[in-house]
Amino acid sequence: MAGVKRPIEVSDPLIEAQYMTGSHGDVVVLINWRQNPIDELVVRFPHHKDGLKVTSLRVAGLFKGHLHKQTQRGRLKVEKGETGAAQVRLRLEVSDYLLIN
């Protein structure tokens, strides 16, 4: 009724997803509340159509320094979903952080 739209949507109802915006960029925190990993979680960004870059810090592995230095490692393939919105697919064990830029 208020016209509020979620900044992200996930394909599994037992995934907690938080979208946080800061002065150095945006981060999505994903928490898996299932007992098992999810082989292919879809994370949709309904407000983004083109030019979105998403980096999984779990996939990036061990790193040092600023988070934005990880953009070459852990980059996820961004595709267009059925509605034209950007989306990514990933395996989610327990948790992950997605750096958005």
How does pLDDT run across 17-31, given as a tens digit for each residue?
999 998 878 999 999
Question: How many domains is the chain partitioned into structurally?
Answer: 1
Which residue range(s) make up the domain with 88? 9-100
With respect to residue 2, please indicate whether it lies within any of the assigned structural domains. Answer: no
**100 and 26 Cβ atoms separated by less than 8 Å:** yes
Res. 8 pLDDT band, cuts 50 70 90: very high
With respect to residue 55, please indicate whether it lies within any of the assigned structural domains. Answer: yes
Q: How far apart are CA 93 and CA 88, in angstroms?
A: 16
Tell me how far the alpha carbon of residue 92 is from its chain's centroid: 10
How does pLDDT run across 40-94, given as a tens digit for each residue?
999 999 988 788 999 898 876 655 566 555 556 688 999 999 888 999 999 999 9
pLDDT at residue 63, rounded to an integer: 57
pLDDT at residue 64, rounded to an integer: 59
Residue 75: CB atoms within 10 A of its CB come to: 16
72: domain CATH number?
A: 2.60.40
